[in-house]
Structure 1
Amino acid sequence: MKQASMHVASLTLDEMNPRHSQPTKSLEESIAALLEEKGAPKLLRLARSIVDRGLNPTELIVVMPVGDLNIVLEGNRRVATLKLLHKPSLAPTEQLQRKFAAIAASGEVPRRVQCVVAENRQHAAPWIKLRHTGENDGVGVVKWSPAEISRFGGRSTPTEKARLLTDAVSAWFADDEELIADVAAVRENRITNLGRMIGDPDVRGRLGISFDGESVVSDFPKDRMRQILARLFHDLAGTVSVDKIKTKRQRNSYLQQVEDDLPKLSERLDEPQRFSGAASSASPETIKKVETSESSPAKTPRRKRPDFEKRLFQSVSLRNVSLRTSEVFEEAKRLSIDEMPNVAAIMVRIIVDIVVTDAADQLGWKRGQNDLKGRIGAALHQVDPAQDKPALSGAWRFSQKDEGALVLKTLHQFVHSWQANPLTSEVRKLSLAYGPLLTEIDELIEKKRR
């Protein structure tokens, strides 16, 4: 088989596509068959992916020339989606036509695709079969396990954080054979259960651990962590199944059961220590204490917020800002972070700016109003002059201290740089960091009015 670049318009959908319950008789009928039942949402998501990122270059379309036609043997969903983007009227309903048209208008739609040309169906059949019929004893596509998917996705998922913790614990207590055996059992068979536990901020806070990139950060001396970690891994490797830690109430109940094994809050280190993977068995690195959402329950409890925000600033209510600011804010709160990360990222910057500017106008602040950093800084100094409110640590860090990847210039880049591609995790982190500041500003406006 050879490769060739072909125009989308020259490609013909396969009327004998195995996805169809019976052969189709036209392009419109083939597209309608692919859109039936649950097919429409999937093709719409595929359309969005194609417009945002282009076609997957690792999977080529397979065609078979028949006279003047190039019949698609592999890749009918992709080609159908491209045709719908170029000509939305091919969709069987007006609603789908509008949706495909809207997606097409939001970016570039490929007009040519790279194809593999097969002489006939028999020539292509063995490869197409391998593509769609599973592992075939290792000859076909071997699916990743949940652990492999997690490793590929990086350290941001609870499961991969759990894996990072198992690496650290194995290095910390390499001399404890029983603990190491339990760690190995959890890593092999119960890693998602451990991820469920440490994905809970209350559990992390009481254990005194947090995560910073590839490092595990401990608020307690390593030796004081041994007892609770031994108990946790022993329980997870044994009788504590997912059904016993599925809900937050169950996880809190577990913490109460192991209270005697937990390190005492009075034993907290003045400065937390960072341990990085296998290297953690060496001397730990002492780091500057930074109050985050993952640390220090000994401090004044912060305002309760959802652990996972689906919408921008969803836990924040503003009642004392001006009417226009309130209206823009409420409209922004309707944005789904996962569905519209680019718009959400831009709106984080806009909302923060208009709220701090609104507060400055209402309360007569004159200093530090020349740029966004100054305006945020002026607001922070008003609501947290001692810089000791844990809930505002993220806003201080991201806007004033130039620490980490989400510094203030990132907000500017989301608006002004088309090379900036915000991740949903970044937008969510910024929303959680600046949300408490917006609440504090709103409360300060109310207080000043009294």
Structure 2
Amino acid sequence: MMDPKYTEVITPIESIDLYVANPRFDPVEDQRSALHAVCIDQGSKLIQLAEDIVHSGLSPIDIPMVVQIDGHSRYTVVEGNRRVAALKLLAQPTRIDEAPLAEPLKKRLKRLAEAFKVKHQDEVKCVLAASVEDAKHWIQLRHTGENKGAGVVSWDGASTARFRGNSPGYDALEFVRIKLAGACDAEVLDRFPVTNLERLLGDPAFRKSMGLELKGGQLTSTIDPQTTAKNLYVVMQDLQQPDVTVGHVYTKDDRKAYLAKIKPQLTSGTPTKESWKIEGRGNAESSPNSPASTAKSASGKKGSLPSSKTRNHLIPRATTFPVDATKANDIYRELRKLDIRLYPFSVAVMARVFLEISLDLFIQKHKLKGALAAVAGKQDPTLRHKVECVRTDLLAKGAEKTVINSAFTKFTSTDSPFSIGQLHMVVHNAHFHPDAVGLIRAWDSCEGFFLALWDRM
């Protein structure tokens, strides 16, 4: 029975205003600014949400909450601003052109808007709260963690796996996450559409080209594990590109065309004597060839690979570097101990310092000042110049190209929480807040770079 302070309403999308005091960003003055602020804050996540809305509709267990402020007849959404923003862009595609989104994301959003126009009505079911104060309790429980059990209690990995049951796509994802730990982009694995991979794995022609078999929901391979993981990762990287949608793998002909495109990027592996099961974490951790049993730190010690979703420290405690410079070693040890979820600013600032000190010591050790000057040209060397200089030297010294280039992308991409730009904003932008979970995942993509650097000191 619903409390009389809350009632259900069904209203057109255009009669709902975004909340200009949304806690996700600094207060803004008008609706256009609020929509743009959501776009800037969410980026590609907003497009993922729009795609889910187009394909599945709005979640019936997560209804937007609205209020009527100062007696106005219009509604203001106080919980569900991301969903309403996505709906406004889908319902009025003219807004997409001026939205502060990358062009590939705009193109993807416009295609989704066409599908939305055909499949959906322009009305939204909402819960109307009597006031903002009446809504605050529920908003707090929704966004501030478990609250000793009163809030949203997330599933752990085992719960998620049990819910998903036999999922070849999920098994493939977790297998790649472990097998290529440190040599792949963790964010790619976190954001790519598993359902699209499931469609591909359900196609016999695609499986044959990958050396895969599917029997009774169990995915198996007939080529060596390392090649299997690398080929799956190639597909995962491609599937998360903004211009690749469900329409590219939906029908048999779509998948045939997709296979023709991706096949030249796949590697021929060594056939195994018999097929072996791809069973996600369970298989990867027990396999004698898995990273969990064979990966070593720079000091030669074996260690486990903690999940970035449950870790509270930027640097996993199982990761050890041979850091013999006093200041760098002290910072490194603090980064392994500080709880990033409690001290995100401290960790972000120290991570930037650790990056620059590591680069400076490497440049000094290998006498690269001349090479650095050549990279910088007529400018004073910046942190980016140092990254470029060390990257070039590590590759010349035989460091694994995929590992070094993946980290370089993180250091230089504007979207990466570990980018030079975002680490700089933590220090110099009064309104910028570091993303703790994003930093952990970005570190996992950059860790191999630091290992390669310190291993050569």
Higher relative contact order (CA 8 A, sep 6+): 2
TM-score range, shorter chain: 0.3 to 0.5
TM (norm. structure 2) is 0.42
TM (norm. structure 1) is 0.43
Q: Which has the larger radius of gyration?
A: 1
